[in-house]
Amino acid sequence: MDLSGQYRIPADVATVWAALNNAEVLAQCIPGCEELEKDSDTEMTAKVALKIGPVKARFSGRVELQDLNPPYSYSIVGEGKGGVAGFAKGGADVTLTEDGAETVLDYTANAQVGGKLAQLGSRLVKSTSAKLADQFFDNFSKAVAG
Amino acid sequence: MSDGIGARVERKEDKRFITGKGKYTDDVRVDNQAYAAFVRCPVAHAKINGVDSSAAMAMEGVIAVHTGPEMKEDGIGDIITGWSITSKDGSPMQCGVWNPMVTTYGRYVGDAVAVVVAETQAIARAAAELVELDYEELPASIGVEDAFQDGAAQVHENVPGNLIYDWEIGDEAAVAAALEGAHHITEMKIVNNRLSPNPMEPRSAVAIFDEAEDHYTLYTTSQNPHVARLVLSAFYNVAPEHKLRVIAPDVGGGFGSKIYIYPEEITCLWASMKTGRSVKWTSDRTEAFLTDAHGRDHVTKATMGFDAEGRIVGFKTDTLANIGAYVSLFATVTPTYLHGTLLSGCYDMPAVYGNVKAIHTNTVPVDAYRGAGRPEATYSVERMIETAAREMGMDPAELRRKNFITEFPYQTQVILQYDSGDYHKTLDMAQDIADVAGFAARKAEAASRGKLRGLGYSTFVEACGIAPSAAVGSLGAAVGLWESAEVRVNPVGSVEILTGCHSHGQGHETTFAQVVADRLGIPVDNVSVVHGDTDKVQFGMGTYGSRSGPVGMSAIVKALDKVEAKAKKIAAHTLEASEDDIVIENGEVKVAGTDKSMAWHEIGLAAYIAHNLPEGMEPGLKEAAFYDPLNFSFPAGALICEVEVDPETGVTDIVKFTAVDDFGNIINPNIVEGQVHGGVTQGIGQAMLEQVVYDDDGQMLTASYMDYCMPRADDVPSYALDHNATPSPLNPLGVKGCGEAGAIGSPPAVINAITDAIGTNDLQMPATPLAVWTALQNAKSSMAAE
């Protein structure tokens, strides 16, 4: 599954970059996030409760940031396991572009799902992911602007 | 005799089935009951490096967690296949090893890796989630064409190129020569879509180990409990045969998927011994999609040649058959001897050739499913002839008629010898019922409403009651395909039939009783049928391949012959008459032309009291017989489907479906019609709705009824049925099988009708609205391009 999007965030690139690397801000913005810990500058672990179609589960995931080019781009690679609900793994390339006082964020992501997520929820994964991404960036914009 | 052969007796078993009183495997509850849940491979191909069960074991109520290597260590055998196929170069087939639970490699999503045994089903399932698998994901081959490409990921190390066998039937050179000189050649790529069987009752097993007796009992959802016992003891080393009782109680449908002995039953038996508990496992629906053997999944390239008059000169198919990750029990014979042998259809073809390559993929095993190979053959033959007729500008019914076999027995170019048939009359009857003459007017009327109306045929023949044992043995079968029966006349005159067939929806309790009622002249209510328990019935091969009528009932007839002979001797002795003068009339054994008679209870009592039997006669009145058929029987039929397509949406409505079948003599028309209704509906499901989809990584995307579309009442019309019986000369009742014919014959009728409506032959199953709409758009754009 491939997903991409663009968001305009009312803050400068440096602020957006800092927020993207701030576990507290991320934890606040990720829908359903129950826990997010930064294990190092580039590694985080998270627990997220999600409902995708008929599948509801608590996913434990590990995320790594790669190809860091601060404050303009990085890649996120990660995977999450939700027990019998299945697993998801994938990555996203994120780029930030200055546009006056604002920042344009572009991302392209790909993900693979398995287990019940694939068996029961595959038709809903993309639309749910897009919805979650919108929610995240909506929260994120508010957090950064505030 | 109102209850006898041919009577519309209501099904005796329906009282308990439709009032919810059936007793299924999951209804079995015994002392000491524990429950199993399986931990399954989450990806299509993986090396399992470790199984961490510590968190699961720490859960309250968990009794044990066991894995494949432990099972192997205990000497539990690998899962076998029941039929060896030899490749065309003479080499034996190559199959991957199938451990009941994974020892090193998981090869499909759902492959059993570990079993959790716990006090309740809920605890077992929750604990299974806590079992952590340490695995390394490996490249996987999913689609059958991809898996056969150079460089495809290997499913098993010992099966190079994933090629299990490369088999052929018929005369390749003769077909090549015939095609060379052909006036017209039709070529098509034909995909037979992958299906999940979906019996209403999911698989279930209850294993009971009795330590004191060193004895095992297995309740299981099986179509053939005796074969299960034989294989479990002889190959899986679970227990010796005399220490293992297998009971298949009421079973809610099988369609082939319950022939096989799966990892779960083997594991439950072994886990029962390991834990000292009775172990029950019942599949949930998603588990059924993931682990029940699938059906079909062929990709075929077909070429059919005709002379200037429209007579077939040669037919050739090249098929890739997806076998899945492991070779299931009858997986090898389904695409070969049950498919290649039917490539002549009901046509007099002078040259036929079929090549089948069986391919391993990282998907659940594929095996026989209602029709088993014959639907695949029929779909190829019937789509080809209909398409050829359109290409040659001929009427598809007339092209069929030009090629129909008219003389029987008929020896095909692909092994089989057809027993009897009357294909012209069957098609006449179907055309009358379907009002083919009025089709043009209906099509015009539909066009006035903006709808596309189409009509499609399928004239099929199939082979039921696979046999005889010596012949199947010479072709590689590991078993014989006879059937057994015992008929017991009780001292009170009631009768019990013990049969090695198994009823999981077929209505044997009714039809088998009718055969006895007809012969002995007693009401069907005085006859009971015992089946499905290896401790009660001597032996038997079970029910599949539409064999219970032609094979199972023939065994009953043989046993009845012996009962009748002995009863006549007793009556002659008691009534002081000559044995030759004794006849059976109206439920009595009489001296012909006199009023001297004995009722069956008098005969039974005389036999069991034994005070006054003929000199030297053994007491009792119970006879057994084993019946090995002379040949298959060959049901045939003409199906006509009429559809209306909405060109704006692709939505297709089946407006009429006609089926005229030749099942030989019919024991109970209700039951036969029910079989046709069910079979045709399953065929419509294949043609228009059903498809198992794996994504490129081997994750199944259709593992529930949200994504796998089963036919429902509003997807099918009210069927118009009739029969044109040509009794089989090869069995005593003149019957042919009827259980699979509907599913075998109907898919091409549906697709031929839709392609007639939309004016393009470029359509594969399932013909969903999207597929039909897309075919219409493609046809429009290719016409525009021309």
**Domains B140-194+294-393 and B482-627 fall in the same CATH topology:** yes
Q: Where are the domains of chain B?
A: 32-138+202-291, 140-194+294-393, 419-455+635-786, 482-627
Provide the pLDDT confidence category of residue B1 given band limits of 50, 70 and 90.
low
Q: Is B13 left (phi over 0), alpha (psi -120 to 50) or beta?
A: alpha
> Residue B624: how many CB atoms within 10 A of its CB?
15
Structure tokens that stand for B531 in this block: 């089946």
Nearest CA in chain A to B693: A119
> In this structure, are residues B22 and B14 in contact, taking their beta carbons and an 8 Å threshold?
no
Structure tokens that stand for B25 in this block: 């495997």
Please report residues of A whose CB lies closer than 8 A to that of B285.
Answer: none
Contacts of B95 (CB under 8 A, 6+ apart): B81, B156, B159, B164, B326, B327
A interface with B, Cβ–Cβ < 8 A, is 53-54, 83-84, 86-87, 112-116, 118-120, 122-123
**CA distance linking residue B512 with residue B495, whole number of Å:** 11
Please report residues of A whose CB lies closer than 8 A to that of B703.
Answer: 116, 118-120
Average pLDDT score over residue span B215-220: 98
Task: Answer yes or no: do B109 and A114 touch at CB < 8 A.
Answer: yes
B467 or B20, greater pLDDT: B20
B136-150, B460-474, B526-540, B623-637: range with lowest mean pLDDT: B460-474
**CA distance linking residue B494 with residue B515, whole number of Å:** 14
**CA distance linking residue B219 with residue B23, whole number of Å:** 11
**CA distance linking residue B112 with residue B117, whole number of Å:** 14
| B230-265 per-position pLDDT tens digit | 999 999 999 999 999 999 999 999 999 999 999 999
- Counting Cα atoms < 13 Å in the Cβ hemisphere of A20 gives 28
B263, burial (CB in 10 Å: exposed 0-12, middle 13-18, buried 19+): buried
Task: Answer yes or no: do A119 and B129 touch at CB < 8 A.
Answer: no
**CA distance linking residue B169 with residue B324, whole number of Å:** 23
Task: Answer yes or no: do B43 and A116 touch at CB < 8 A.
Answer: no
**Does the pLDDT at position A73 exceed 60?**
yes
**Does the pLDDT at position B786 exceed 80?**
no
Task: Answer yes or no: do A118 and B706 touch at CB < 8 A.
Answer: no
Task: Answer yes or no: do A119 and B700 touch at CB < 8 A.
Answer: yes
| B465-487 per-position pLDDT tens digit | 888 898 899 999 988 999 999 99
Please report residues of B whose CB lies closer than 8 A to that of A115.
Answer: 42, 109, 699
Residue with tokens 């919810």, as numbered in its chain: B20
Residue with tokens 């308990």, as numbered in its chain: B16
Task: Answer yes or no: do A119 and B697 touch at CB < 8 A.
Answer: no
**CA distance linking residue B113 with residue B102, whole number of Å:** 5
Amino acid at B361: T
Which letter does DSSP use for residue B248 in this model? -
Nearest CA in chain A to B286: A119
**B134 touching A (Cβ < 8 Å):** no
**Does the pLDDT at position B514 exceed 90?**
yes
Q: Does domain B482-627 have CATH number 3.30.365.10?
A: yes
| B162-207 per-position pLDDT tens digit | 999 999 999 999 999 999 999 999 999 999 999 999 999 999 999 9
Dihedral sign, Cα of residue B519, residue B663, residue B556, residue B2 = negative
Nearest C-alpha of chain A: how many angstroms from B701? 5
Which letter does DSSP use for residue B372 in this model? T
Task: Answer yes or no: do A118 and B695 touch at CB < 8 A.
Answer: yes
**B131 touching A (Cβ < 8 Å):** no
Tell the CATH topology of B140-194+294-393. Aldehyde Oxidoreductase; domain 4 (3.30.365)
Nearest CA in chain A to B126: A84
> Residue B450: how many CB atoms within 10 A of its CB?
9
Please state the domain count of chain A. 1
Average confidence score pLDDT of chain B: 96
Q: Give the model's pLDDT for residue B612.
A: 95
Tell the CATH topology of B419-455+635-786. Aldehyde Oxidoreductase; domain 4 (3.30.365)
> In this structure, are residues B605 and B491 in contact, taking their beta carbons and an 8 Å threshold?
yes
**Does the pLDDT at position B132 exceed 60?**
yes
Average pLDDT score over residue span A110-131: 86
Task: Answer yes or no: do B697 and A122 touch at CB < 8 A.
Answer: no
Residue A72 sits in a domain of what CATH number? 3.30.530.20
> Residue B471: how many CB atoms within 10 A of its CB?
18
**CA distance linking residue B559 with residue B580, whole number of Å:** 20
Q: Give the model's pLDDT for residue B484.
A: 96
Residue A79 structural domain:
2-145
Please report residues of A whose CB lies closer than 8 A to that of B701.
Answer: 118-119, 122-123
Structure tokens that stand for B156 in this block: 């098993």
Nearest C-alpha of chain B: how many angstroms from A90? 13
Task: Answer yes or no: do B706 and A122 touch at CB < 8 A.
Answer: no
Tell the CATH topology of B32-138+202-291. Aldehyde Oxidoreductase; domain 3 (3.90.1170)
Nearest C-alpha of chain A: how many angstroms from B468? 43
Amino acid at B634: F
Structure tokens that stand for B606 in this block: 């005389």
**CA distance linking residue B633 with residue B554, whole number of Å:** 12
Nearest CA in chain B to A53: B706
The ipTM (two decimal places) reads 0.84
Provide the pLDDT confidence category of residue B119 given band limits of 50, 70 and 90.
very high
> In this structure, are residues B703 and B623 in contact, taking their beta carbons and an 8 Å threshold?
no
**CA distance linking residue B389 with residue B396, whole number of Å:** 5
**Does the pLDDT at position B598 exceed 70?**
yes
Of A53, A84, A118, the CB nearest to B699: A118
The model's pTM is 0.95
